Amino acid sequence: MLTTPEKVLFVLLAGLSAGYAYLGFKRVVDVIVRGEPGHYPRFDQLPRRLVMGFLRTLSQTTVFRARPLVSFFHGFIFYGFIFYLLVNVFDVLKGYLPPLWIVGLDWGIVGNVYRLLADLLTVLILIGVVFFLLRRFVAKDRQLVQAEGTLLHEKVRLGGVERDSLIVALFILLHVGFRLAGESFLLASEAHPDPWQPFAGALANLIGPGPGRIAGWHVGWWGALGLILAFLPYFPRSKHIHLFAAPFKLSFEPRYPDGARVPRGALEPIDFEDETAEQFGVARLEHFRQVQLLDPYACIQCNRCTNVCPANHTGKALSPAAIEINKRYELGVVAPLLAAGNESPREVMEFVLNESSLWACTTCGACMEVCPVGCEQMVDIVDIRRDQVMMKGEFPAELANAFRGMERAGNPWGIGQDKRLEWTEGLNVPTVADKPDFEVLFWVGCAGAYDPAAQQTTRAMVRILEHAGVDYAILGKGEKCTGDPARRAGNEYLYYQLASENVTVLNETLLDETLDPTKRKRVVTTCPHCFNALFNDYPQLGGDFDVVHHSQLIEMLMAEGRLPPLETRERMTFHDPCYLGRHNDVYDAPRKVLGSAGVAPVEMPRNRNNSFCCGAGGAQFWKEEEAGEMRVSENRFREAQATGASVIAAGCPFCKVMLASSDSAEGERAPEVRDIAQIVAENLERIEAKLTGGAQPS
């Protein structure tokens, strides 16, 4: 037990430490509340949200989604520290209360298990910390290194991340190490062998028994708990604050009122009806939403997001991790200003990311998918683009043509609306004007109407709809671009204009008050970007529609027997479009269609929610790709080619064009890129040719 002067001193130091820590955490909260509230509910049903967030944190499922070895050692530290919350409490009591001083106190099986866990987890924590120290400072793991050309905050360039990591690691190492030493000296002083503390007991044997050993316990006790008191004021200023911030970040993910998660493809809208608004997008830190200001505090600085970023993976300067790290270090400087209600001193483009990084993003969402704590780096980028485009008029010159085309002609190509139906030449495709009582609206999309490669998919889809007897129609010249390229490029106002027009047209076309509400007219589209806009974005503007991707409809028709299964021996691999898969969790339907031949498509190493982007998203299709080691599409094509497949099945017109135009696609025996609709339509032709004895398509 502690002496009386020690007890008094500890209480005084604890009060001082708690006071400084409180001020630090209060400043963090004051900074976060300076942000904007956002469109989607984040703080409703708080008890339910907090329980879910803390359970997800405790399960560590988000951490183990990647890097299994690193996650394994991280588990040592995480679970060890969770248990150490209890250990530290009991250690404090042990210093103050005589009954707890007795080493051999019999608490039954509970006491035995407690001591065993404390002993084992102490060693596991030490192993974990040593592993991470060796990884960062000896092995210098390249996964933790930012690429050359990435904008880094001044303090980061001066070694801020490494210094902070070293401080945190040494604190853990010394805190746990002193605790182990203190327990060992205590066992040695009392000469009570304790089989439930094998590691502390082994050290006690090395120390040897003796009454003077009790001084070692005092040193260990003060070393372990004194370090906590010394570290607490630094805690809210260190990366270690993610222990507190991460559970809240996971709790505050966007959810609909019914509790369902808002899909990643649904961006936060801007209220253009608000006449008091003076800022669109993010120019300074305080323009971020509250959860975006929580992100840098929750960020583990693990670099996982950067490692999966298509732009970074192909040698571009973009680093999603650097975005959150840079925000964190700038907040460390300007937090007093923000907490006091003042404006931050400089714009985010001066320290968060540079122009090259801003426009290299494909908005694929891989960074958000892999992040263990739910940071929203992609959303940050789109919000900063909004400021650059709408407030400053600064964006890549090539996008001006796409913006102009969408504004004047209703499509990014700028081709006249009078040519939107040219793809129907030779086909008898009904429009809604011809057939107002249709059941399925085929949303063709701009690519499907104007791009020659995508037109093949559109015509194939018509063939499928007609064979299956689907009562469908198209809008024809009444259809305009959904506005997706404008929105992801930051031109939210142009998107708003296009989307508002489309919502009005669709509401007039699809909603019939005389119909049974359980029999809503369905919308089908071959473009995941159109699908995402119609399904996720348009409800923000009053457009609530029943939307399916064409792979989903084809799978339904096959299940109903209205389409035959595939009859092919071609070896196929499927490329998951980002806006179908990661953004909307549609993975199985296209695979069921391709696997209907009895052979499942061969998977690429990066598939489903870990799929690699084609490089077209985020309006990249309409501009030159930033300089790097290779094009994003080339990287993906090589991966597909390595599977040995003869066909790369696509479910997106932009993916199809990007993959087919990669350098390796021109090589000998390069796999052919075909849309699922083409594969199914060709299957219909083969079956019909077999029945009629005609020539079968190759």
Q: How far is CA 568 from the centre of its chain?
A: 37
What single letter denotes the amino acid at residue 531? F
CB atoms within 10 A of CB 697: 11
461's tokens: 């889809």
Instruction: With beta carbons less than 8 A apart as the criterion, state whether 297 and 28 touch.
Output: yes
CA distances from 433 to 429, 437, 472, 498, 594 (A): 11, 10, 12, 21, 35
Q: Is residue 340 part of a domain?
A: yes
Q: What pLDDT does residue 157 have?
A: 96
CA angle 579, 582, 588 (to 5 degrees): 95
Instruction: With beta carbons less than 8 A apart as the criterion, state whether 31 and 339 touch.
Output: yes
Which residues does 375 contact at the CB level (< 8 Å), separation at least 6?
249, 295, 298, 299, 305, 324, 367, 368
Which of the listed residues 215, 250, 285 is the one where a domain comes to its end?
A: 250
CA distances from 410 to 31, 136, 395, 417, 475 (A): 42, 52, 20, 7, 13
Q: Identify which of 225, 200, 224, 226 has the alpha carbon closest to the alpha carbon of residue 213.
A: 200
Q: Is residue 84 part of a domain?
A: yes
β-strands 672-675, 647-650: how paired? parallel
Instruction: With beta carbons less than 8 A apart as the criterion, state whether 475 and 525 touch.
Output: no
Q: Is residue 367 part of a domain?
A: yes
Let me know whether 540 and 507 are in one domain. Answer: yes
Instruction: With beta carbons less than 8 A apart as the criterion, state whether 535 and 528 touch.
Output: no
Let me know whether 245 and 353 are in one domain. Answer: no
Provide the greatest CA pair distance for the chain: 102
Q: Is residue 448 part of a domain?
A: yes
Angle of the 4-32 helix axis to the 290-298 helix axis, nearest 10? 140
What single letter denotes the amino acid at residue 672? E
Let me know whether 486 and 539 are in one domain. Answer: yes
Distance CA 529, CA 581 (A): 11
List the CATH number of the domain containing 340.
1.10.1060
CB atoms within 10 A of CB 601: 23
Q: Is residue 256 part of a domain?
A: no
Let me know whether 132 and 26 are in one domain. Answer: yes
Let me know whether 281 and 245 are in one domain. Answer: no
Let me know whether 361 and 403 are in one domain. Answer: no
Query: Residues in the chain with pLDDT < 70?
Result: 98-107, 512-519, 694-698
Q: What pLDDT does residue 144 have?
A: 94
The model's pLDDT over 643-672, given as tens digits with 9 standing for 90+, comes to 999 999 999 999 999 999 999 999 888 999
For 517, counting Cβ atoms within 10 Å of its Cβ (0-12 exposed, 13-18 middle, 19+ buried), the class is exposed
Let me know whether 545 and 616 are in one domain. Answer: yes
Q: Identify which of 410, 465, 408 has the alpha carbon closest to the alpha carbon of residue 441.
A: 465
Q: Looking at the 3D structure of the chain, how many domains does it have?
A: 3
Q: Identify which of 44, 46, 75 has the alpha carbon closest to the alpha carbon of residue 59.
A: 75
Could you list the residue range(s) of the whole structural domain that residue 523 is in? Answer: 398-692
Q: Is residue 158 part of a domain?
A: no
Q: Is residue 87 part of a domain?
A: yes
Q: What pLDDT does residue 102 have?
A: 47
Q: Identify which of 248, 242, 267, 375 has the alpha carbon closest to the alpha carbon of residue 321.
A: 375
Q: Is residue 39 part of a domain?
A: yes
Distance CA 314, CA 632 (A): 6
Q: What pLDDT does residue 274 have?
A: 87
Let me know whether 382 and 402 are in one domain. Answer: no
Which of the listed residues 219, 250, 281 is the one where a domain comes to its end?
A: 250
Which residues does 330 contact at the CB level (< 8 Å), separation at least 6?
153, 285, 344, 351, 352
Distance CA 154, CA 144 (A): 18
Instruction: With beta carbons less than 8 A apart as the criterion, state whether 391 and 286 touch.
Output: no
Instruction: With beta carbons less than 8 A apart as the criterion, state whether 639 and 612 touch.
Output: yes
CA angle 241, 245, 249 (to 5 degrees): 155
Let me know whether 244 and 280 are in one domain. Answer: no
- pTM, rounded to two decimals: 0.94
β-strands 672-675, 440-443: how paired? unpaired
Q: Identify which of 129, 200, 211, 218 has the alpha carbon closest to the alpha carbon of residue 170.
A: 129
CA angle 631, 637, 643 (to 5 degrees): 150
Which of the listed residues 346, 367, 391 is the one where a domain comes to its end?
A: 391
Let me know whether 88 and 195 are in one domain. Answer: yes
Q: Identify which of 177, 83, 187 has the alpha carbon closest to the alpha carbon of residue 123.
A: 177
Let me know whether 370 and 422 are in one domain. Answer: no
Let me know whether 335 and 473 are in one domain. Answer: no
Residue 602: CA count within 13 A, CB half-sphere: 15
Instruction: With beta carbons less than 8 A apart as the criterion, state whether 419 and 502 touch.
Output: no
